[in-house]
Amino acid sequence: MKPFFLTTLAIAFSILSCSSGRSDVPPEASTDPEASNVYFGDPFIMLHDGTYYAYGTEAADGIAVYVSDDLLTWQAAPDNRLALHKNDSWGDRWFWAPEVYAIDDKFYMYYSADEHICVATSDSPLGPFKQEIQKPMLEGEKCIDNSLFIDDDGKPYLYFDRFNDGLNIWVAELEDDLVTIRTETMEKCINVSQEWEEVWPRVNEGPFVLKHGDTYYMTYSANSYESPFYGIGFATAPRPTGPWTKYAGNPIFQKPGDLVGVGHSAMFTDKDGNLRIVFHSHHSETEIHPRIMHISSVSFTEKDGETIMQIDKDYITPEKK
């Protein structure tokens, strides 16, 4: 019985390690020169001055950026240079889940490095982004997937994942510098609590928040990113700090069409004023990596007196030049 017990324990530990640390994740970049997909995990798109910029988990040495005029065709930065290189970061490995925001003629990149949340700045959306303060935003604690939200009154909030009960989502206020977390304001938002989230293991991650009407909506992903049942749900709150209530009809997006492992999404408004969502999927039904970027549309509908967020199952899969 002892060998069976030890093997079972090792497998269980391995699953937990992959789900939280994801230390065995290979780079997303494809080695196929003919490949036309945009191989981004944890993708994010920003529209700035009529141009779309996409960032994501791809490179081993930092954060890549692609550029597009129409969301359909994307081109890498000149010389395939990275928007953020590890030489300009506190961390030197595991560069995940970047989000970039243009604020007061400056660009802020919130990202994870070595399982810590970080922020870097640049004068250009193409970079180079540099982390001026050479330490993570929360020292001494592993956190990932940091996402910025600025409320109507100008108050900034940071949402992120903590490892203190599987992966669960927290929020904290930021100082006006958009870099410093007011740790005394940290509050828990959501954790695994719905049946669909319990495929394996305990994961609520990849938060993104927007305001629609008087209500705050948070999209998030649940289940291990390795699971084909990785999917997207949403929660609502009357304030950025909560309390957050998950939609009883979750997941709103899981295994659409031929895709599996869909999640870690972010929303943006396109040139026509339409609300869009960008997300990744597994490479195929049998392979996780390299993950592929897709884009769909988001709408809100009234149902039984409740305003429901919906993601269109008809997605597009951009290509790179």
pLDDT digits (tens, 9 = 90+) for 284-306: 999 999 999 999 999 999 999 99
With 50 as the cut, is the pLDDT of residue 23 above it? no
Write out the H or E segment, with its range, that includes residue 300. Answer: strand 292-303
CA dist 87 and 104 (Å) reads: 26
Task: Write a three-state SS string for 58-93.
Answer: CCCCEEEEEEECCCCEEEECHHHCCCEEHHHCCCCC
Please compute Rg for the chain using Cα positions: 19
Torsion of CA 235, 239, 240, 243, to 10 degrees: -50
State the chain's mean pLDDT as an integer.
Answer: 91
Backbone torsion region of residue 8, taken as left when φ is above 0, otherwise alpha when ψ lies between -120 and 50, otherwise beta = alpha
Q: How far apart are CA 214 and CA 233, in angstroms?
A: 20
User: Residue 62: which of 81, 41, 77, 45 has the closest Cα?
Assistant: 81
Of 154, 262, 141, the C-alpha closest to 206 is: 262
Q: Given a cut of 90, is residue 156 above it in pLDDT?
A: yes
153 versus 23: the higher-pLDDT residue is: 153
CATH number at residue 24: 2.115.10.20
Show Cβ contacts of residue 123 under 8 Å, excluding neighbours closer than 6 positions: 105, 106, 107
Q: What is the pLDDT of residue 261?
A: 98
pLDDT tens digits for 239-281?
A: 999 999 999 999 999 999 999 999 999 999 999 999 999 999 9
The number of distinct structural domains making up the chain is 1
Q: What is the predicted pLDDT for the residue at 19?
A: 37
pLDDT of residue 4: 30
Q: What is the tens place of the pLDDT at every residue in 124-145?
A: 999 999 999 999 999 999 999 9
Percent with pLDDT over 90 in the chain: 86
Which residue range is the domain that position 161 belongs to?
2-320
CA–CA separation, 137 and 142 (whole Å) = 10
